[in-house]
Amino acid sequence: MLVVFPARIKPHATAEMAHEHPDAPQQFSVRLPNETMGLVTRIQGFRRRINQPTTLSAIVEDAIDLYYARLVEEGAIEDNNLL
């Protein structure tokens, strides 16, 4: 059994941008290229301005929802009312 421990996070730490918190992807056992983390940082900046969560997990969840909706719209998959 493989056990992965999340990176240590300071209690009550303020939310950081991706480029300020390089260990964020390792918390999810994900390795992202610097270019992708740059995109995440820009998305976080926008989400911060419109008062939406800026965590990597929130961004990934929204991206998956959008991609799923696109595949349904294009007829590539059937919508099973998962959303």
Is residue 8 domain-resident? no
Q: Helix 34-49 vs helix 56-73: angle between axes, to the nearest 10 degrees?
A: 90
Measured CA to CA, the distance from residue 22 to residue 37 in angstroms comes to 9
pLDDT digits (tens, 9 = 90+) for 53-68: 999 889 999 999 999 9
- Give me the mean pLDDT over the 37-60 stretch: 92
**Rounded Cα gap, residues 18 and 43, in angstroms:** 10
pLDDT higher than 90, residue 47: yes
Q: Domain of residue 32: give its range.
A: 19-73
Domain-located, residue 51: yes
Query: Domain for residue 1, yes or no?
Result: no
pTM above 0.85, yes or no: no
Distance between CA atoms of 30 and 69, rounded to whole angstroms?
A: 24
Question: How many helices and strands (H and E) does the chain possess?
Answer: 3, 0
pLDDT in tens, 1-26: 444 444 444 444 455 555 566 555 55
* The pLDDT of residue 31: 79
Task: Count other Cβ atoms within 10 Å, centred on residue 64.
Answer: 11
In a domain, 79, yes or no: no
